[in-house]
Amino acid sequence: MRRILIFLLFIDHLSCLGQQPDISKYISSITGGELRQHVTTLASDTYEGRETGQPGQKLAAAYIKDVFGEYSFSGNIDGSIDHLQKFTVNEVRLDSFYIETSNARLEFGDDFRTNSMKDPFMGEICSDLVFMGYGMDDDYSGRDVTGKVVIYFEGKPSKSDQASDKQNLPAGVFVFDEEKFDVATRHGAIAAICIGKDFKLQKMITEMLKPIMESRMSFEMTNQEEGPRPFSSEIMLDHASAADLLGISEEELTGIRDKSGEGSPPVEIEEAAVRIKASRSFNEVPTENVFAYCEGTDPDKGLVVVVAHYDHLGKSGDKIYMGADDNASGVAALLEIAGVVDLAAREGNRPARSILFLAVTGEEKGLLGSQYYVDNPIFPVGNTTLAINMDMLGRSDVKHGDSGDYVYVYSNESEDSYLHEICIRAGENVKNSLHPEYRFRGKSLLQGGSDHQSFEKAGIPVLYYFKGTHIDYHKPTDTADKIDYGTLKDISQLVLSTLWEVANN
Ligand SMILES: [Zn+2]
Tell me, in angstroms, the distance from the centre of ligand 1 to residue 193's CA: 32
Say if 287 falls within a structural domain.
no
The closest of 463, 329, 417, 387 to 42, measured between CA atoms, is 329
The CATH number of residue 376's host domain is: 3.40.630.10
Tell me, in angstroms, the distance from the centre of ligand 1 to residue 368's CA: 12
The closest of 427, 84, 104, 386 to 242, measured between CA atoms, is 104
User: Strand 112-114 vs strand 105-107: parallel, antiparallel, or unpaired?
Assistant: unpaired
Measure the CA–CA gap between 466 and 411, rounded to whole angstroms: 11
Tell me, in angstroms, the distance from the centre of ligand 1 to residue 95's CA: 25
Tell me, in angstroms, the distance from the centre of ligand 1 to residue 107's CA: 27
Tell me, in angstroms, the distance from the centre of ligand 1 to residue 307's CA: 11
Q: Is the dihedral of CA 296, 300, 304, 310 positive or negative?
A: positive
Task: Collect all residues with Cβ–Cβ distance below 8 Å to 7 and sequence separation of at least 6.
Answer: none
Terminal Cα distance for the chain, rounded: 28
Residues 11-24: tens digit of each pLDDT = 333 334 445 667 77
Q: Among the listed ranges 389-398, 400-409, 420-429, which one has the minimum average pLDDT value?
A: 400-409
Residues 163-188: tens digit of each pLDDT = 434 444 444 444 567 889 999 999 99
The closest of 111, 57, 483 to 317, measured between CA atoms, is 111
Task: Using CA atoms of 418, 497, 20, 68 in order, give the dihedral in degrees to the nearest 10.
Answer: 120
For residue 350, is pLDDT > 70? yes
Classified as helix, coil or strand, 308 is strand
Tell me, in angstroms, the distance from the centre of ligand 1 to residue 492's CA: 17
Tell me, in angstroms, the distance from the centre of ligand 1 to residue 80's CA: 25
Say if 2 falls within a structural domain.
no
Tell me, in angstroms, the distance from the centre of ligand 1 to residue 49's CA: 12
Classified as helix, coil or strand, 345 is helix
Tell me, in angstroms, the distance from the centre of ligand 1 to residue 289's CA: 15
Residue 171 confidence (pLDDT) = 40
Helix (H) / strand (E) element for 332: namely: helix 329-346
Q: Pick the last residue of a domain from 221, 247, 280.
A: 280
Tell me, in angstroms, the distance from the centre of ligand 1 to residue 391's CA: 5
- Kindly state whether residues 53 and 113 are assigned to the same domain: no
Tell me, in angstroms, the distance from the centre of ligand 1 to residue 437's CA: 19
Task: Collect all residues with Cβ–Cβ distance below 8 Å to 420 and sequence separation of at least 6.
Answer: 411, 413, 414, 438, 440
Residue 269 confidence (pLDDT) = 86
Measure the CA–CA gap between 227 and 250, rounded to whole angstroms: 37
pLDDT band at 223; cut points 50, 70, 90:
low
Tell me, in angstroms, the distance from the centre of ligand 1 to residue 421's CA: 27
Mean pLDDT to the nearest integer, 57-61: 98
Residue 211 confidence (pLDDT) = 85
Counting the structural domains of the chain, the total is: 2
Helix (H) / strand (E) element for 358: namely: strand 354-360
For residue 203, is pLDDT > 50? yes
Tell me, in angstroms, the distance from the centre of ligand 1 to residue 450's CA: 6
- Kindly state whether residues 117 and 194 are assigned to the same domain: yes
Q: Which residue has the higher pLDDT, 79 or 104?
A: 104
Say if 144 falls within a structural domain.
yes
Residues 146-168: tens digit of each pLDDT = 999 999 998 888 755 444 344 44
Q: Pick the last residue of a domain from 255, 280, 305.
A: 280
Measure the CA–CA gap between 210 and 196, rounded to whole angstroms: 18
DSSP single-letter state for residue 402: T
Most confident of 9-13, 75-79, 338-342: 338-342
- Kindly state whether residues 352 and 412 are assigned to the same domain: yes
Tell me, in angstroms, the distance from the centre of ligand 1 to residue 394's CA: 11
Going from the C-alpha of 478 to that of each of 39, 95, 208, 216, 327, the distances in angstroms are 11, 25, 11, 22, 10
- Kindly state whether residues 323 and 379 are assigned to the same domain: yes
- Kindly state whether residues 173 and 313 are assigned to the same domain: no
Tell me, in angstroms, the distance from the centre of ligand 1 to residue 363's CA: 7
Total count of residues recorded for the chain = 505
Tell me, in angstroms, the distance from the centre of ligand 1 to residue 309's CA: 7
Model-level pTM? 0.84
Say if 377 falls within a structural domain.
yes
Tell me, in angstroms, the distance from the centre of ligand 1 to residue 336's CA: 18
Tell me, in angstroms, the distance from the centre of ligand 1 to residue 476's CA: 14
For residue 3, is pLDDT > 60? no
DSSP single-letter state for residue 249: -
Tell me, in angstroms, the distance from the centre of ligand 1 to residue 38's CA: 16
Say if 406 falls within a structural domain.
yes
Tell me, in angstroms, the distance from the centre of ligand 1 to residue 451's CA: 8
Residue 120 confidence (pLDDT) = 80
Q: Which domain holds residue 113?
A: 93-280
Residues 462-482: tens digit of each pLDDT = 999 999 999 999 999 999 999
pLDDT band at 214; cut points 50, 70, 90:
confident
Say if 285 falls within a structural domain.
no
Residue 196 confidence (pLDDT) = 86
Tell me, in angstroms, the distance from the centre of ligand 1 to residue 329's CA: 10
- Kindly state whether residues 256 and 308 are assigned to the same domain: no
Tell me, in angstroms, the distance from the centre of ligand 1 to residue 57's CA: 14
The CATH number of residue 175's host domain is: 3.50.30.30
Tell me, in angstroms, the distance from the centre of ligand 1 to residue 122's CA: 29
- Kindly state whether residues 114 and 258 are assigned to the same domain: yes
Residues 256-310: tens digit of each pLDDT = 988 887 766 667 788 899 999 999 888 999 999 999 999 999 988 999 999 999 9
- Please provide the average confidence, as pLDDT, over all residues in the chain: 88
Mean pLDDT to the nearest integer, 360-389: 95
Tell me, in angstroms, the distance from the centre of ligand 1 to residue 397's CA: 14
Helix (H) / strand (E) element for 131: namely: strand 123-131
Residues 413-465: tens digit of each pLDDT = 999 999 999 999 999 989 889 999 999 988 877 666 899 999 999 999 999 99
Tell me, in angstroms, the distance from the centre of ligand 1 to residue 324's CA: 10
- Kindly state whether residues 216 and 192 are assigned to the same domain: yes
The closest of 118, 115, 158, 152 to 137, measured between CA atoms, is 152
Measure the CA–CA gap between 239 and 331, rounded to whole angstroms: 42
- No. of helices (H) and no. of strands (E), the chain: 13, 17
- Hey, how many other C-beta atoms are within 10 angstroms of the C-beta on 241? 22
Residues 90-109: tens digit of each pLDDT = 998 889 999 999 999 999 98
Say if 353 falls within a structural domain.
yes
Q: Which residue has the higher pLDDT, 157 or 311?
A: 311
Tell me, in angstroms, the distance from the centre of ligand 1 to residue 379's CA: 24
Q: Pick the last residue of a domain from 226, 246, 280.
A: 280
Q: Among the listed ranges 161-170, 316-325, 375-384, 401-410, which one has the minimum average pLDDT value?
A: 161-170
Residue 246 · residue 131 · CB < 8 Å: yes
Tell me, in angstroms, the distance from the centre of ligand 1 to residue 294's CA: 25
The closest of 198, 195, 183, 170 to 245, measured between CA atoms, is 195
Residue 221 · residue 92 · CB < 8 Å: no
DSSP single-letter state for residue 328: I
Measure the CA–CA gap between 292 and 359, rounded to whole angstroms: 9
The dihedral region occupied by 313, where left means phi > 0, alpha psi between -120 and 50, and beta the remainder, is alpha
To 10 degrees, what angle do helices 32-42 and 329-346 make? 130
Tell me, in angstroms, the distance from the centre of ligand 1 to residue 431's CA: 28
Classified as helix, coil or strand, 482 is helix
Residue 20 confidence (pLDDT) = 64
Say if 290 falls within a structural domain.
no
Residue 403 confidence (pLDDT) = 81
Residue 199 confidence (pLDDT) = 66
- Kindly state whether residues 122 and 228 are assigned to the same domain: yes
Measure the CA–CA gap between 27 and 42, rounded to whole angstroms: 24
- Kindly state whether residues 446 and 335 are assigned to the same domain: yes
- Kindly state whether residues 370 and 248 are assigned to the same domain: no
Tell me, in angstroms, the distance from the centre of ligand 1 to residue 392's CA: 6
The dihedral region occupied by 459, where left means phi > 0, alpha psi between -120 and 50, and beta the remainder, is left
Q: Cite the beta strand spans of 25-117 per DSSP E.
A: 84-100, 105-107, 112-114
- Kindly state whether residues 364 and 444 are assigned to the same domain: yes
